[in-house]
Structure 1
Amino acid sequence: MDKKYLYISTIGCQMNVHDSEQMAALMEKEGYVGTKDVNQADLIILNTCSIREKAAQKVMSSLGRFRRLKEKKTNLIIGVSGCVAQQLGDRLLMKVPDLDLVLGTHNIHRLPEFIAEIEKTGTKIVETSLSEETPSLGIVTLPQIGQVTAFVTIMQGCNNFCAYCVVPYLRGREESRTQEDILNEIRNLAGIGVKEVTLLGQNVNSYARSTKGASGFVGLLNEIEKIEGIKRIRFTTSHPKDISESLIAGFAGLSKLCKHIHLPVQSGSDRILSLMNRKYTKFDYLAKVANLRKSCPDISITSDVIVGFPGETDGDFQETIDMMNEIRFDNLFSFKYSERQGTAALKMNSKVSEPVKMERLRILQALQEEHTLEKNKALEGRREEVLVEGFSKNCREDVMGRTSTNKIVNFAGHGNLIGEIVPVYIKEAYLHSLRGEML
């Protein structure tokens, strides 16, 4: 039988990336081989993000390209999954008539079933129902041969309802996997050579919060710490209001927990934070940062900021700039506010004009580049422990890896170093990476 080829294009966060890995694993069992050449594909899945308008626009642009491929290859199956699929549902078929499948966020486990039906009957399928329990949450994926890092989903969904965010509507309420399921998956990953796991969830701090008798997120970290073969643990993302004292202490007490936290602040103005429904103040956030740095002086802190939220004045924006100068983040993901259907912010007055949003974003990103380079330059002349992940993208004679603080380091080395934690002397720092020499 001829091989069938699967091409997956992923737009979005690490959760989307892991969802794509799950879909690839499911379809591999049905005889589909992954390909990076879209022209070779018999099945194209566009796995999408809808949290910002720019990502949603990219989806429609990609679908336009895929439709042209179908004109030449009539049996080509095209599907859309993820948050755009969940949000638009049937409307997506109206926008893109050549589409065959619209697969919502809670239905990844049904992908093989739906593809088989489409292959057999040519029926177009839309499935965007949300369930209280999501079987796809526990789909286990195996990393590629030689891969030493892996994502592990521990929970999904969100109960916070920030005014700008569609995630609670598209991913549903918070739902956690059992601790034993997670630990078994990580033990299996360790058994095939994975050295570092990144725990995924919309708000990992609330892991198992509503599960009777569960030990919570810190309890899970303590159990992962005991797994032989795992050398490093990372996690993303954290909500500032839910960072506990025990988690902060964990950065000092857990030897495998990496010295990095992504802690989205979104704004430095209390007034805007209140409008955003973030449920903390600037003082609260600064106190959490201070406690993290007290517990782990070398910790790297990264964050998210939205500029141009409805009602944001020049004064509010300046408060964000002042906060950035006080904290000096290691890195920052920054965005212009974009309206999303169904969110509370959509009905708010005092919209900020596009030119003002663009200028504020430019100012903020320029400042962050200064802070990022400053943080990286401070590592010059230091010895850092680097987990080697693979070969450098720029030079096959170099290997690359990351420090515990999530800094990318390139240095001369051989492939037999992959999976090892090695001491590296940092010779030179750049904006996006470090150059080192193995000791």
Structure 2
Amino acid sequence: MAEQRTYQVRTYGCQMNVHDSERLTGLLETAGYAAASGDEPADVVVLNTCAVRENADNKLYGNLGHLASVKKSRPGMQIAVGGCLAQKDRTTITDRAPWVDVVFGTHNIGSLPVLLERARVAEEAQVEILESLDVFPSTLPTKRESAYAAWVSVSVGCNNTCTFCIVPALRGKEKDRRPGDVLAEIEALVAEGVSEVTLLGQNVNAYGVEFGDRQAFSKLLRACGEIEGLERVRFTSPHPAEFTDDVIEAMAETPNVVPSLHMPLQSGSDAVLKAMRRSYRQSRYLGIIERVRAAMPDAAITTDIIVGFPGETEADFEATLDVVRAARFASAFTFQYSKRPGTPAAVLEDQVPKAVVQDRYERLVALVDEIAWAENRALEGRVVELMVAEGEGRKDAATRRLSGRARDNRLVHFTPLAPDGTPVDVRPGDVVEVEVTYGAPHHLVADGPVRSLRRTRSGDAWEARTAAPAPTAGVSLGLPTVGVPAPLPVVDGCSR
């Protein structure tokens, strides 16, 4: 009997890629592969790539160069490259790295097992890039990384034409799932023990454009409120130009839709926004923030900001700082502009000198940190409800704390002790109440006793999964850590 082949999926980029990797993992396991364990070299290594950064191709070919030497010493090993960079570069990948076995695009991730087998039998590279989506990816097998929280795609692709962003060219025009299909997937997830979902789209609040319902997204949020057992609903990423009051009303009036909003700004300057082809201006953006806060005073609002876009002046940059001061973001992903080959902005004149960009970036990060810290310090003494998380507290082992997410998505490190000092048996997916004792710039700390514990179906699902643990090395995340940590893995250009 042939030995079972193993796999590893390495993910780079945005939350779309993270969710795609869950599908790739599900496809491979359905095809009979097993996740590689520990540091053991895998028989199949899949690189799920991102193309939005200037040096994305250098990173890819550096990783492929390392894998070439591994492959030489491991007969039968296969290497596959997918994602946005594969969609963009296509046969260039096999020209520069002829030891790659499979190249597949963003529209045909479901083809991976067949392409791997075809490459093995034919003993030559297989390149398959579709120009448009054939099957909506949510119909594919999925191995989700979490027992208690899940991504749910409502759409793929984007109809915007931002000059810094190559994503629409690689992901295609927006395609929406029917509401019934989305809700059926969520109901199935809840039945499996999931209690939190994040609705995912390249431009999530444009949902419904394909079937002509401008209020489809707010209706979807309200429908999520009717699903018994679904405790938390999040979404990412909306576009300010299409963010409407019916969505704000649905957020405020639907109990399981959390008071958390990631609203990409990119720039506070009207001139820069125009050059970016961002179809809103500073006043509209701040108006949205004001209406969200009026409806949900405790909402935590996060954002994305690009510094040093071509032609940005000091006055333009100061306008961005003005918006940061007015909006008082809970956190922000901050980026230095980098050229994306194939985007209109890459050939614009007036590229801002690197030293100037660096200086502005440092000033922006300092202001964001200052405001985020003040906002978090204001929460000291407040009792918050946490859904206990897995793997989010990097220092939990050293500090003997656990970590969880508040309803507004703030990360909270807490001490799992009862008032009498005895340990509390808490599982990922369970819900606790704790009192915030310290607000740091990027997280909260609760070092007092656990006020209450609610054991949940999600905790049961986590416990059932870990009772017979599966290898955890199947998917590794190559997500960037840039600027101030935000609650979701977002790369500028992939967010809206």
TM-score interval (norm. to shorter): over 0.9
CA distance in 1, matches of 2:374, 2:428: 29
CA distance in 2, matches of 1:377, 1:293: 19
Ranges in structure 2 where 5+ consecutive residues have no aligned partner: 417-423, 452-496
Correspondences of 1:275-290 after superposition (within 5 Å)? 275-290=275-290
CA distance in 1, matches of 2:300, 2:37: 34
Partner of 1:399: 402
**Paired residue secondary structure (2:209):** coil
Partner of 2:176: 176
C-alpha contact 2:166 2:342 (8 A) present in aligned 1: yes
CA gap 1:213/1:377 in 2 versus in 1, 3 angstroms: closer
Q: Bigger shift: 110-119 or 388-397?
A: 388-397
Q: Which fold has the larger relative contact order, with Cα–Cα distance below 8 Å and residues 6 or more apart in sequence?
A: 2
Partner of 1:6: 7
C-alpha contact 2:25 2:143 (8 A) present in aligned 1: no
2:73 equivalent to 1:43: no
CA gap 1:79/1:415 in 2 versus in 1, 3 angstroms: farther
1:86-132 deviations in whole A, cap 9, x for unaligned? 11011111121211111100001111111111222222111222225
1:379-411 deviations in whole A, cap 9, x for unaligned? 111011111123644335532210111111121
CA distance in 1, matches of 2:372, 2:148: 27
Correspondences of 1:176-195 after superposition (within 5 Å)? 176-195=176-195
Partner of 2:487: none
Partner of 2:413: 410
Q: Bigger shift: 303-312 or 428-437?
A: 428-437
CA distance in 2, matches of 1:300, 1:274: 27
CA distance in 1, matches of 2:377, 2:80: 45
Correspondences of 1:32-431 after superposition (within 5 Å)? 32-35=33-36, 37=38, 39-144=40-145, 147-212=147-212, 216-390=216-390, 392-396=393-397, 397-413=400-416, 414-431=424-441
CA distance in 2, matches of 1:305, 1:393: 26
CA distance in 2, matches of 1:24, 1:421: 29
CA distance in 1, matches of 2:133, 2:150: 26
Q: Bigger shift: 59-68 or 369-378?
A: 59-68
C-alpha root-mean-square deviation of aligned residues, in Å?
A: 1.7
Post-superposition shift, 1:288? 0.6
* TM-score under structure 2 length normalisation: 0.85
Q: Bigger shift: 3-12 or 389-398?
A: 389-398
CA gap 1:297/1:55 in 2 versus in 1, 3 angstroms: farther
**Paired residue secondary structure (2:340):** coil
1:221-247 deviations in whole A, cap 9, x for unaligned? 111111111100011101000111011
C-alpha contact 2:204 2:236 (8 A) present in aligned 1: yes
Post-superposition shift, 1:72? 1.1
Post-superposition shift, 1:417? 4.2
CA distance in 1, matches of 2:37, 2:295: 44
1:39-88 deviations in whole A, cap 9, x for unaligned? 42000001111111244433222222222211211311111111111110
CA distance in 2, matches of 1:382, 1:223: 31
Ranges in structure 1 where 5+ consecutive residues have no aligned partner: none
CA distance in 2, matches of 1:8, 1:134: 21
CA gap 1:66/1:273 in 2 versus in 1, 3 angstroms: same
Post-superposition shift, 1:171? 0.3
C-alpha contact 1:147 1:389 (8 A) present in aligned 2: no
C-alpha contact 1:12 1:48 (8 A) present in aligned 2: yes
CA distance in 2, matches of 1:343, 1:417: 46
**Paired residue secondary structure (1:40):** coil
Post-superposition shift, 1:276? 0.3
Question: Number of paired residues?
Answer: 438
Post-superposition shift, 1:213? 6.1
**% same residue:** 37
C-alpha contact 2:46 2:80 (8 A) present in aligned 1: yes
CA distance in 2, matches of 1:169, 1:134: 18
CA gap 1:26/1:106 in 2 versus in 1, 3 angstroms: same
1:113-153 deviations in whole A, cap 9, x for unaligned? 11111222222111222225443243252435x72111111
CA distance in 1, matches of 2:334, 2:258: 23
Post-superposition shift, 1:35? 2.6
Post-superposition shift, 1:255? 0.4
C-alpha contact 1:38 1:44 (8 A) present in aligned 2: no
CA gap 1:268/1:305 in 2 versus in 1, 3 angstroms: same
Q: Work out which of the residue numbers 430, 438, 442 in structure 2 matches 1:432.
A: 442
**Paired residue secondary structure (2:189):** helix
C-alpha contact 2:390 2:403 (8 A) present in aligned 1: yes
C-alpha contact 1:137 1:155 (8 A) present in aligned 2: no
**Paired residue secondary structure (2:371):** helix
CA gap 1:55/1:434 in 2 versus in 1, 3 angstroms: farther
* TM-score under structure 1 length normalisation: 0.95
CA distance in 2, matches of 1:3, 1:150: 28
C-alpha contact 1:39 1:69 (8 A) present in aligned 2: no
**Paired residue secondary structure (1:356):** helix
CA gap 1:227/1:112 in 2 versus in 1, 3 angstroms: same
